[in-house]
Amino acid sequence: MKATFGAGCFWCVEHEFQKIKGVTSTAVGYMGGSMKNPTYDDVCTDQTGHAEVVQVEFDPSVISYANLLGVFWNSHDPTSMNRQGPDVGTQYRSVIFCHDQGQEKEAIQSKEQLQNSGNIKKKIVTQILPAHEFYKAEEYHQQYYTKCGIV
């Protein structure tokens, strides 16, 4: 199964999901914009509407979508509009792209539970949207931390 998340710089997000048992593969790329086949340079203009995302392939018999949502919520600040740390722009927005109605329902429930938990004082700004076409990022972005010896 697939899950797609945007939570800031896709290098960081991919690294978080690669560590999870049951995640069978990850790929970083772009989703949610209007331009076909965007490049990193295109997306960095903040004019294409794409978010930097990680697409996660997972084995639901090992890890549930709900658990992946937990990783997503814990890997970034979902109250920060179009920004994560030093990265600023709509391409760094907090977004869950749902591949089916089941994922959409779980994502909405998960967001509501987190907002109502009292653990987050500000309003969660995470978008929950239907999955769009995924454009895989350039090869040098894939498993970036591993390639650079950061992990």
pLDDT at 139 over 80: no
pLDDT of amino acid 149: 67
The CA distance from 2 to 17, in Å, is 12
Per-residue model confidence as pLDDT tens digits over 72-127:
999 999 999 999 988 899 999 999 999 999 999 999 999 999 999 999 999 999 99
pLDDT at 145 over 70: no
Q: Is 9 a catalytic residue?
A: yes
Q: Which of 9, 12, 44, 98 is catalytic?
A: 9
Mean pLDDT score across all residues of the chain: 93
- Predicted TM-score (pTM) of this structure: 0.94
Per-residue model confidence as pLDDT tens digits over 9-61:
888 899 999 999 999 999 999 999 999 999 999 999 999 999 999 999 999 99
**Domain residue spans in the chain?**
2-147
Please state which CATH class domain 2-147 belongs to: alpha beta
